[in-house]
Structure 1
Amino acid sequence: MPPGVAMEQPRGLVAGGVSPWEGRRSRAALPCTQQSADEIASSSAAKGRSGSRDATSDAAKKSRKSVKREDAHASAFAPAPTPAAAVTRSAREGSVLFHPVRMLGKVTEAVPFGLARLGTEHFITCSTGRAFQVFEGEKLRLVFSSPPLGHKIRHMAVHHSTVYTAGKYEVFGWEKLEKVAEFLPAKHAHRAVPDAPEFKLRGLLVLGEWLLTFSGVELCVWNRLSGELVRRCENRDFFASAAAAKRRLPLFTALVHPPTYLNKVLVGFDSGTLLLLNLRTGQVVHQLKCLDTSAPDAGEGVQARRAGTGSDVSDSEEDNSSAARVFASLASSASSAWGAVTVAALSPEPDVVAVGFLSGRIAVVDLRRDELLLEFAHSPAQGPVLALAFRNDAFASQASVDAADMRAVLVSGAKNGDLVVWSLDGGRFLGSLDNAHEGPIRSLQFYAGQPILVSSGEDNSLVMWIFDQPTGLPRELKSRRGHIGPVGFMSFYDGIQEGTELLTTSTLRGCGRVARTSLIRHQQNCVFSAKCFRKKAIEWGFRSKRFPPAVTDIAFASSRHFDWPNVVSLHRGAHAALVWSFHEKTLV
């Protein structure tokens, strides 16, 4: 039973329409009923031995005792009244029978993670829905997990050891596991916030002593220490002509602070507009004009990428998530040839910023000169640009032909899960890692001064990549992967006596996965590899070449799993069974 759900009525009925909870009350009440009958029998025997009472009095007392016995028997089976305080506490805190202890198989959600550096160590903070957990950056070991919060985390920001989490309209600050700050935009605005998508928070940004929060219609500047609202800017303040004509106003979609730009932020809108805003005065410093005209055609590298992406479009399925609906609304409102702004990333070079668009295009611009430096584009199969990151280290492989070319790269995350690498030296396409994530990539960040990239997506995984190959492409260094989709099967692999390992299956977008979950060490959790399926899928009689279909049943034998494969799975719409090795964690 998930936290926050009060158990008020039994969900199922046994044969005859009797609730199992009523049966438990009946069995618990039997000893009390038997005890009452014994007491009545003993008292009747004592009174019989006395022989001092008349027959009328004995008959009246027996009738009264029978009534009392019936009342006791009826009260034993009657459900006890539930106090109102207990119901309120149950609805607020969760189940009254069980208390959540640990969360298994959950690494991260679609919320972008927060990266902070304390001393020489990096720490990664990920959202797990109504809680967050912190991993150390070297080996991705779990440091600690927060208890369930009172809201669903929709956005997150990290500043040193303080974690800021955003719900629909409110923001909270956490120091380790203690709440230290609270920011309520609706309270300071003295108005009721409509329950509409454009009024919900879309992002957070920590800027010195300020905390910036923005929804689709307003940007709020808070004092992080006192919690006071410093300034509130609405989108109508920047588009007076559209407001006067009662046209649809552009909505905030992206926010970034260029270094060395004091009290200024670059704001992106779903119309494709980019504004440089002064937070002290609330005035627009500059509007970028280099992206107002139609975008030029993509270069040869981009054209080649679009022609041969290597991704199977027929196997990809459109999801009906809230993110997809947001993309659809942005596409309908975009007026620029570039499309709606989806993400912005800072470059190690001053004044240079990369901007990603819903159309799949990427623009590298110089803010000071208002000049378009480079342009890249995703293929139609890759879709919108959801994440961007510049490599910011001086490392290069000694075996590489052009060290500078390998260093100056920009990495973009696509909606279909591809990780695309672009060279900033000439604007060339270096390559891509197809299906780096099983779903949209939501966050990309490089470690400062290191060739290490961390990515997260909607597939419940956190992956660390390292750039040490002559080709300039990264390879997977470490990862933490959880259940990809809802869990359909779960069983203790080592027996219920040990109870330390779980064998699970899950399904996402019609693709089935087999995974191992450890109750002792989170770093041992993994999803079984299915690489050989892509080569033998047609031979085995499967239609799709990417992943096996949804798992319908599974069986295993844990004895001597070092010697031979010991896991067999059945899949939807397939007449053949697949064999897995639990020891090798792979399909054979």
Structure 2
Amino acid sequence: MTNTVGNRESFIDASRIFTGHRALGLVSNHIPLVTRYIPQRKETLIVTVIGNSYHTYGSNKLNLLAVGRAHEDDITCLAGDNYRVYTASGHTIKVWKRSTELCNEFKGHEKPIHLMLPFGLHLLAVDEANCLKVWDTNAAEVNFELSFNPETFCISALVHPVTYINKILFGSTQGTMQLWNLKTGKMVFAFNGWKSPITILEQAPAVDVVAVGLASGELILHNLKFDENLMKFKQEWGPITALTFRTDGAPIMITGSSQGHLAFWDLEQQTLVQQHRHAHRGGVTGLKALTAEPIIITSSRDNSLKMWIFDQSDGGVRLLRERCGHKAPPIRLRFHDQLGEWILSTGLDSSLRAFSTVADLLHRNLGTAHYNQKKARRVGLEKAGTKMPPIITFASESVRDKEWDSIAAVHRRHSKVTTWSFHRSTMGEHKLTHQRFVDNMALTKSSATCVTVTACGNFAIVGYDSGHIDRYNMQSGIHRATYLRPDTEKSSELPYTRNAVRGVASDGLNQVVLGVFANGQLNTWNFKSGEIMRETNLEVAPSLIEINRHSGLLAIAMEDFSIAIVEVETGKIVRRLLGHDGRLTDLAFSPDARWVVSSAQDCSIRTWDLPTGTCIDYFLVPKSCVSLTFSANGSFLATAHVDDLGIYLWNNQSLYTQVSLRSLEENFQPKVAPLPGSTARSSCSEVKDGDTTEEDEQFASPEQISDSLVTLSLLPDSRWKNLLNLDVIKRRNRPKEPPKSQKLAPFFLTNTNSLEAIADNQKESGSRILDSSSIPFATPLTPWAGKLNVAGKPEEYAAVIEELKAMGPSAIDTEIRSLSPHLGGSTHLLSQFLTSISVVLESKRNYEVVQAYLGLFLKVHASSLSEEHELCKRAEKLSGVLKDSWSTLQSNFENTLCLVSFFMNAVI
């Protein structure tokens, strides 16, 4: 799995048509999860490992936030703190910030690393050679190194006891513990321990107390200060694989086992208060409690991540959210809808799942096949008895999704075909089978081998290894018809004479039913009457078939590694495709039936052009492809591979770029294309780390990318767009009715509140002729106008405009009006303002804001400009600068509009 630039080039080099897109269904593996609380997000991030990469999930919705870059080898150990994520792959430790950016690498270990612990500005790492290295995370250097004898003390766990400065506690497979001071490099104390290997160490909420989990299933709360056991518990489910404490006030300790069970221990009562069996289908490898929240997170090697909450009336826990994929590798894939948004897959775990190509949050689990599905729903899957064998093949049709079951599934070595509902995301009530397999003793061990659902969604047609082909109604499960060859009844009586059905299909109009048999025969029946219409000898035994109902073509994979293309209407072989060197595993038609994509056990994937009958694309994959499918819109090719839990999507490049479709040469040497990696969707939140104590180099966007580009100020429209209409806005905002005057008092009372007010009125009764001290032009300059008055350098003019940008619309209007000679300004100030506008326009910064300021200036001071000859010259010069800057923009606009008009109207 990968998502780096180098590997994208590998995709392009390996395949002409397909390039890796992303992986689906990968959640976790056997490496324990890591939790990181990020204060800026107010959220805990959950990190899990998937092979050679890792996922970061958010605890709020358990949604995928980020995907780490691929490593050269599988990740063997994972650690993290509020600032960084640390991954160990091979002999190298990589340090990541913001979950995806590689910021450092630590190289120096001679063996793979299996334990890591962040310790302030240091990282502790223990490799398989039992060597401890203390790394300085800033300098990427080893500050301290210590080797232990694996025969006497083989490190299996480590923890930093709180309040123990510079000290680390180590646990061993011999059952003993040692407390070391890393600053002095000396051992402080050696604990006798226990006779069982220590599997995990965890700091308890109480100081000096550490929880010790043993391989024997015992759990000890040990006081380090006095070297004594405080409490002792034991679980009967095998070794303790995970351990955590609730930190929201409840004295509860939770442990996980190798069988997937969870145990909840009350530390006050020292008893087991709850057990949750089969919380996972595999061993619990990761277990963390969220800080100050009644929530725990668990992960397992069964490819699942689950969130549990303590909100039951008895204090119990229930499942809140989960993200999971197949526990066992998928073996069959098919797109379900016409938009290419849903992929149905079955695995060796007997489950049927639906994966969304749009968002990981939409993935569904349709359930696990059980003989008694009602009981499984009532008492749980693990208590419902034996589950059905794995689904080896299935067929679906989305036409009748909401009315009744739309999926029919065939189980390994089983005669009953189960139905499933995609709309309800559950297993259906019907198990399709014929009475002959119950009544006839010779047929009791017969099993279904193939199935198809008709285009109308009403019928399922099933083929058996006995040679029978039956049609069932999907709504009622009732048998409707049987399609037989003349020798079917006789050959089915004895196992060694049976002619097994290898594939069955129907056309798009329900006119014919086609079946291929192990003896190399292709038979065609009338859909309604069941009469045989024709027989075609394929000459070679077939292994599987795939039909394209729109084109009426049937692709048949042969046992001699060839592919035969048959025309449904005539039954003739129109193409035979040769080239594979291994057994064919699956076939897929492109939506227009022009291509057939085939996969084989030789790890090859080929694309065949049917009009020419040649191979036009050929590449190899690291693991053999067991199933592939083409989306109905042609966007994606989905593949599943041997011993791999993921479903991999490949982009069809021919939809958006020119692709060469010439046939390949006979001596063409294919290249290996790496499997796509998981990628977070574009709608995912940005992952931020906590505040770091070190100074990270942060990218700062320049104020102006280039001097030749026009740069906008990015101010809100309300700050500059209405400057020319402020007077209109003020008139509109005036009150509709004028303020009412105060009622006159009686003649013997005055309208004043005090004697001082009477004195003021007497003063105002004097002459109202303005004196020289009250004229408006005596007003002093504003601070901004004062800076404009003395400006002389380009940077000083730019600073004046920047100060004006920080003001509001009304303040800007007042400042520009104050430049008038009649209001305390001067002609020099008007000239200075025009110069500042010219300087900013020449620098091509704040382009839209300066235009608004200039518009208001001309509106207010137009008469003053026309009266002064010097101002007219300055204005003419500014007009030339303005025209030059706008002509460049106008030319680019016209070129762009011309090209857009051509592409929209040209007939291609």
> Does the alignment reach a TM-score above 0.5?
yes
Per-residue CA deviations over 1:244-279 (Å, capped at 9, x if unaligned) read xxxx33311101111111111111100011111111
Work out whether 1:484 is the aligned partner of 2:327: yes
Instruction: Note the C-alpha offset of 1:466.
Output: 0.3
1:546–1:225: structure 2 CA closer, same or farther, 3 Å change rule?
farther
3-state SS of paired residue (1:426): coil
Which whole-Å CA distance do the structure 1 matches of 2:2 and 2:36 have between them? 29
Work out whether 1:500 is the aligned partner of 2:341: yes
Work out whether 1:389 is the aligned partner of 2:311: no
Work out whether 1:464 is the aligned partner of 2:384: no
Query: CA contact under 8 A between 2:62 and 2:323: conserved in structure 1?
Result: yes
Name the counterpart of 2:232.
375
Q: Which piece of structure 1 moves more, 551-560 or 515-524? A: 551-560
Give the AA of the match of 1:480.
R
Query: CA contact under 8 A between 1:3 and 1:94: conserved in structure 2?
Result: no
Give the AA of the match of 2:238.
G
3-state SS of paired residue (1:489): strand
Which whole-Å CA distance do the structure 2 matches of 1:474 and 1:566 have between them? 35
Per-residue CA deviations over 1:314-364 (Å, capped at 9, x if unaligned) read xxxxxxxxxxxxxxxxxxxxxx1xx11111112111122111111111111
Out of 343, 357, 372, the position equivalent to 1:519 is 357
Work out whether 1:577 is the aligned partner of 2:428: no
Query: CA contact under 8 A between 1:513 and 1:548: conserved in structure 2?
Result: no
Which whole-Å CA distance do the structure 1 matches of 2:134 and 2:14 have between them? 38
Query: CA contact under 8 A between 2:49 and 2:55: conserved in structure 1?
Result: yes
Name the counterpart of 1:129.
51
Query: CA contact under 8 A between 2:370 and 2:387: conserved in structure 1?
Result: no
Give the AA of the match of 1:115.
T
Name the counterpart of 1:409.
252
Out of 101, 108, 111, the position equivalent to 1:178 is 101
Out of 163, 181, 186, the position equivalent to 1:260 is 163
Work out whether 1:109 is the aligned partner of 2:14: no
Name the counterpart of 1:404.
none
1:151–1:94: structure 2 CA closer, same or farther, 3 Å change rule?
farther
Residues 24-423 of structure 1: pairs in structure 2 closer than 5 A: 95=14, 99-119=19-39, 120-176=42-98, 177-186=100-109, 193=110, 199-216=111-128, 217-236=130-149, 248-289=151-192, 291-292=193-194, 336=195, 339-379=196-236, 382-394=237-249, 407-423=250-266
Instruction: Note the C-alpha offset of 1:152.
Output: 1.6
Give the AA of the match of 2:20.
P
Which whole-Å CA distance do the structure 1 matches of 2:84 and 2:139 have between them? 15
Query: CA contact under 8 A between 2:342 and 2:355: conserved in structure 1?
Result: yes
Which whole-Å CA distance do the structure 2 matches of 1:160 and 1:543 have between them? 41
Query: CA contact under 8 A between 1:215 and 1:252: conserved in structure 2?
Result: no
3-state SS of paired residue (2:216): coil
1:375–1:546: structure 2 CA closer, same or farther, 3 Å change rule?
farther
1:3–1:140: structure 2 CA closer, same or farther, 3 Å change rule?
closer
Q: Among the aligned pairs, what percent are the same residue?
A: 29
Which whole-Å CA distance do the structure 2 matches of 1:551 and 1:142 have between them? 29
Give the AA of the match of 1:417.
G
3-state SS of paired residue (1:523): helix
1:225–1:266: structure 2 CA closer, same or farther, 3 Å change rule?
same
Instruction: Note the C-alpha offset of 1:546.
Output: 4.9
1:121–1:392: structure 2 CA closer, same or farther, 3 Å change rule?
same
Name the counterpart of 2:485.
none
Query: CA contact under 8 A between 2:217 and 2:240: conserved in structure 1?
Result: yes
Query: CA contact under 8 A between 1:219 and 1:232: conserved in structure 2?
Result: yes
1:518–1:424: structure 2 CA closer, same or farther, 3 Å change rule?
same
Which whole-Å CA distance do the structure 1 matches of 2:88 and 2:145 have between them? 17
TM-score normalised by length of structure 2 = 0.44
Which whole-Å CA distance do the structure 2 matches of 1:444 and 1:94 have between them? 42
1:211–1:94: structure 2 CA closer, same or farther, 3 Å change rule?
farther
Structure 1: any 5+ residue segments left out of the alignment?
5-85, 187-192, 194-198, 240-247, 293-335, 395-406
Which whole-Å CA distance do the structure 2 matches of 1:344 and 1:584 have between them? 44
Aligned-residue RMSD, C-alpha: 2.7
Which whole-Å CA distance do the structure 1 matches of 2:30 and 2:270 have between them? 30
Name the counterpart of 1:18.
none
Which whole-Å CA distance do the structure 2 matches of 1:159 and 1:477 have between them? 25
Which whole-Å CA distance do the structure 2 matches of 1:550 and 1:433 have between them? 26
1:377–1:570: structure 2 CA closer, same or farther, 3 Å change rule?
farther
Per-residue CA deviations over 1:46-97 (Å, capped at 9, x if unaligned) read xxxxxxxxxxxxxxxxxxxxxxxxxxxxxxxxxxxxxxxx99x959x99465
Instruction: Note the C-alpha offset of 1:126.
Output: 1.6
Query: CA contact under 8 A between 1:430 and 1:472: conserved in structure 2?
Result: no
Query: CA contact under 8 A between 1:554 and 1:569: conserved in structure 2?
Result: yes
Work out whether 1:427 is the aligned partner of 2:270: yes
1:543–1:472: structure 2 CA closer, same or farther, 3 Å change rule?
closer
Which whole-Å CA distance do the structure 2 matches of 1:432 and 1:530 have between them? 23
Instruction: Note the C-alpha offset of 1:387.
Output: 0.5
3-state SS of paired residue (1:102): strand
Instruction: Note the C-alpha offset of 1:570.
Output: 2.3
- Tell me how many residue pairs correspond in the alignment: 415
Structure 2: any 5+ residue segments left out of the alignment?
377-381, 429-908
Which whole-Å CA distance do the structure 2 matches of 1:533 and 1:277 have between them? 57
Query: CA contact under 8 A between 1:153 and 1:166: conserved in structure 2?
Result: yes
Which whole-Å CA distance do the structure 2 matches of 1:473 and 1:494 have between them? 40
Query: CA contact under 8 A between 1:482 and 1:526: conserved in structure 2?
Result: no
Query: CA contact under 8 A between 2:72 and 2:89: conserved in structure 1?
Result: no
1:412–1:488: structure 2 CA closer, same or farther, 3 Å change rule?
same
Instruction: Note the C-alpha offset of 1:168.
Output: 2.3
Which whole-Å CA distance do the structure 2 matches of 1:579 and 1:452 have between them? 37
- Tell me which structure has the larger Cα radius of gyration: 2
Instruction: Note the C-alpha offset of 1:453.
Output: 0.3
Which whole-Å CA distance do the structure 1 matches of 2:301 and 2:243 have between them? 16
Which whole-Å CA distance do the structure 2 matches of 1:350 and 1:531 have between them? 49
Which whole-Å CA distance do the structure 1 matches of 2:14 and 2:231 have between them? 56
Name the counterpart of 2:398.
558
Instruction: Note the C-alpha offset of 1:543.
Output: 13
Give the AA of the match of 1:165.
T
Greater length-normalized contact order (CA 8 Å, ≥ 6 residues apart):
2
Query: CA contact under 8 A between 2:154 and 2:173: conserved in structure 1?
Result: yes
Give the AA of the match of 1:552.
I
TM-score normalised by length of structure 1 = 0.66
Name the counterpart of 2:542.
none
Give the AA of the match of 1:504.
S
3-state SS of paired residue (1:491): strand
Name the counterpart of 1:474.
317
Name the counterpart of 1:31.
none
Which whole-Å CA distance do the structure 1 matches of 2:366 and 2:335 have between them? 16
Q: Which piece of structure 1 moves more, 345-354 or 205-214? A: 345-354
Which whole-Å CA distance do the structure 2 matches of 1:466 and 1:148 have between them? 33
3-state SS of paired residue (2:361): helix
Query: CA contact under 8 A between 2:241 and 2:285: conserved in structure 1?
Result: yes
